[in-house]
């Protein structure tokens, strides 16, 4: 009898998993809540690390397509102080492919294009997974659809529904992120385009960061990171209120806020406690943000994709005993993630601290024997 495998969530983790499993001859259905691949903007760009995100793409047989879509020049970054003085300016070596950036939408399309059309069941928001007496789970989706599976993999992101089958860990609110976008920047805002450059820009103040990144479509994505506080999130929906918070900053920098195409979009950034784990339960596991939601300092998508590669590898190596395969994946994943989650929490706290500029310069300055850290 063939094993029915369900993946809840068609984000970077879920799609990478479906693709690698398929390469090993294992079919899985991805249930995704969005109506189609273009239902929602996928956000900014990511840099994929050789040992995690790039490794998973190699396992997926997509390293070549990634090379043609990625933008190695996007690795360039600058860090400025509120007066606009340059504290750090990193330019990749010509020809370097160490930490190439790729737009999230391009990466998701690359994965979707590698799967047959019926691999993703769109508009299937999982609302409940109920254990069946004979093993496996009965799945209920928004709108009343139902399906059964023998193995359920929760790749359903930060607010995972599948997670509650395994752990009651709580999320904590770690920062506020306010986003704006500037389209067609080279033509409409050439000064801003030049300020941001081909990669990332961070302007670091006391307890707040004004950041911007170049997208492959010529647009710029602006992100303002603020400390978690009790203030009503709607406060941040006005450019005026944001400009008041950056009062005294160089106007060339705050132009990033003024140039936003529409009103700012604020959201709370949450994380799971580092070291979170669960006792193995037959027939179900988690990957990516569902398993280990971390502050967004450059590891989440990379680790989600590596989880997918490692879980697929274990399942392919031990098809007769999927539970042992899942257990082996979980033990290795917990060990791998703990130090990364701790580092991510430390970096997040450092970035929004009163001494952030000094701390960040130290963090980004390579010591003689070490490579530059991730951004
Ligand atoms: C502002 C920001 C910047 C970031 N920058 C980086 C970076 O530079 N580098 C990096 O490595 N990481 C970064 N991250 C983290 C990264 O985005 C996540 O860790 C990564 O997307 C996790 O992948 P995932 O597949 O686990 O979850 P997601 O990408 O969130 O995908 C989950 C999918 O599940 C679907 N879904 C959710 N609930 C259900 C449901 N009930 N039923 C069905 N489908 C469902 C969602 O629609 C979505 O498609 C950043 C995060 C943020 C917030």
Give pLDDT tens digits for 148-176: 999 999 999 999 999 999 999 999 999 99
Distance of alpha carbon 45 from alpha carbon 22, whole angstroms: 26
Distance separating the N- and C-terminal Cα atoms of the chain: 46
- The rounded Å distance from CA 249 to ligand 1 centre is 32
DSSP E strands, the chain:
5-8, 29-31, 45-47, 77-80, 86-90, 101-103, 120-121, 126-131, 137-141, 146-149, 151-154, 172-182, 200-204, 208-214, 220-227, 265-271, 284-286
Nearest protein Cα to ligand 1, atom 52? 296
Q: Which residues of 302-335 are buried (b: 16+ CB within 10 A; e: fewer)?
A: bbbbbbbbbbbbbbeeeeeebeebbbbbbeebee
Distance of alpha carbon 249 from alpha carbon 252, whole angstroms: 8
Distance of alpha carbon 291 from alpha carbon 326, whole angstroms: 13
Distance of alpha carbon 233 from alpha carbon 229, whole angstroms: 9
Backbone angles phi, psi at 86, to 5 degrees: -80, 125
Q: Which pLDDT belongs to residue 99?
A: 83
Q: Kindly report the pTM of this predicted structure.
A: 0.93
- The rounded Å distance from CA 158 to ligand 1 centre is 7
- The rounded Å distance from CA 289 to ligand 1 centre is 6
Mutate to test the pocket of ligand 1, among 300, 347, 373 (most ligand atoms within 8 A of CB): 300
Residue length, the chain? 375
Within 6 A (CB) of ligand 1 lie: 8-14, 31-34, 46, 125-126, 155-157, 161, 177, 288-290, 296, 298-302, 304
Q: Which of 287, 270, 268, 274 is nearest to 166 (CA)?
A: 287
Nearest protein Cα to ligand 1, atom 1? 296
Mutate to test the pocket of ligand 1, among 121, 271, 301, 305 (most ligand atoms within 8 A of CB): 301
Q: Which pLDDT belongs to residue 367?
A: 62
Please report the sign of the dihedral spanned by the C-alpha atoms of residue 52, residue 53, residue 55, residue 56: positive
Nearest protein Cα to ligand 1, atom 2? 296
Asked if the model's pLDDT at residue 374 lies above 60, the reply is no
Biggest CA pair distance of the chain: 68
Give residue 359's Cα distance to chain centre. Answer: 24
Pick from 195-204, 264-273, 342-351, 354-363: least confident: 354-363
Q: How confident is the model at residue 199 (pLDDT cuts 50, 70, 90)?
A: very high
Mutate to test the pocket of ligand 1, among 52, 296, 305, 351 (most ligand atoms within 8 A of CB): 296
CB 105 within 8 A of CB 229: no
Distance of alpha carbon 322 from alpha carbon 134, whole angstroms: 16
Mutate to test the pocket of ligand 1, among 8, 11, 311 (most ligand atoms within 8 A of CB): 11
């Amino acid at each position: 009898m063939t094993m029915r495998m369900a993946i809840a969530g068609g984000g970077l983790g879920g799609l990478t998993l479906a693709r690698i499993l398929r390469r090993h001859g294992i079919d899985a259905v991805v249930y995704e809540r969005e109506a189609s691949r273009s239902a929602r903007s996928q956000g900014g760009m990511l840099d994929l690390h050789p040992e995690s995100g790039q490794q998973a793409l190699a396992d997926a047989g997509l390293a070549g397509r990634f090379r043609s879509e990625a933008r190695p020049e996007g690795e360039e970054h600058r860090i400025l102080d509120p007066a606009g003085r340059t504290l750090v300016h990193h330019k990749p070596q010509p020809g370097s492919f160490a930490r190439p950036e790729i737009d999230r939408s391009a990466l998701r399309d690359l994965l979707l294009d590698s799967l047959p059309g019926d691999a993703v069941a769109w508009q299937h928001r999982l609302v409940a997974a109920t254990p069946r007496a004979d093993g496996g789970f009965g799945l209920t989706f928004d709108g009343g659809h139902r399906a059964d599976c023998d193995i359920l993999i929760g790749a359903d992101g930060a607010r995972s529904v599948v997670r509650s089958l395994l752990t009651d860990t709580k999320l904590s609110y770690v920062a506020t992120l306010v986003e704006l976008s500037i389209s067609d920047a080279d033509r409409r805002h050439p000064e801003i385009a030049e300020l941001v450059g081909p990669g990332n820009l961070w302007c670091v103040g006391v307890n707040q960061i004004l950041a911007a990144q170049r997208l492959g479509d010529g647009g710029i994505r602006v992100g303002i990171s603020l400390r978690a506080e009790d203030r009503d999130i709607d406060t941040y929906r006005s450019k005026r209120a944001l400009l008041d918070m950056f009062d005294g900053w160089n106007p060339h920098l705050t132009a990033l806020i003024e140039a936003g195409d529409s009103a700012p979009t604020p959201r709370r950034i949450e994380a799971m406690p580092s070291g979170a784990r669960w006792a193995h339960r037959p027939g179900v596991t988690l990957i990516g943000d569902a398993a280990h939601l971390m502050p967004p300092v450059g590891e989440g998508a990379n680790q989600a994709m590596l989880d997918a590669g490692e879980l697929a590898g274990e399942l392919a190596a031990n098809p007769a005993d999927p539970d042992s395969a899942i257990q082996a994946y979980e033990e290795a994943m917990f060990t791998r993630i703990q130090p990364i989650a701790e580092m991510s929490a430390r970096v997040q706290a450092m970035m929004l601290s009163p001494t952030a500029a000094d701390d960040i310069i130290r963090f980004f300055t390579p010591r003689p024997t070490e490579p530059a850290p991730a951004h």
